[in-house]
Amino acid sequence: MHMMHQVAGIGHLLALGDTDARRQALSSLQNDTLITSTKVTNMVQERQLAYKLRLNNRQAQLEAYLINATMEALQSNVG
């Protein structure tokens, strides 16, 4: 999705007949590529952070479950 615009831009670049127009289009394409790359990097970082948060929450739930199960087992052995 993100790279389709860049591919279309390359096709447009080849169709230009004037060198100055090609340079301007190439510069614009480079800027667009940098912007797209930054957006993709940000999206990846956001997803990694969300995954780590979910993973930490799940680990905390499992630890609490194990502690409760251990406490119940100890209490049943004592009492």
Q: Which domain holds residue 41?
A: 4-78
Write out pLDDT tens, residues 18-45: 888 888 988 988 998 899 999 999 999 9
Q: 46-62: buried (b, 16+ CB within 10 Å) or exposed (e) per residue?
A: eeeeeeeeeeeeeeeee
Is the pTM higher than 0.75?
Answer: no
Residues 6+ apart with CB under 8 A from 54: none
Read off the pLDDT band of 14 (50, 70, 90): confident
Distance separating alpha carbons of residues 68 and 62, to the nearest angstrom: 10
Q: Cβ distance 2 to 39 under 8 Å?
A: yes
Domain count along the chain: 1
CA–CA–CA angle 11, 14, 16 (5° rounding): 115
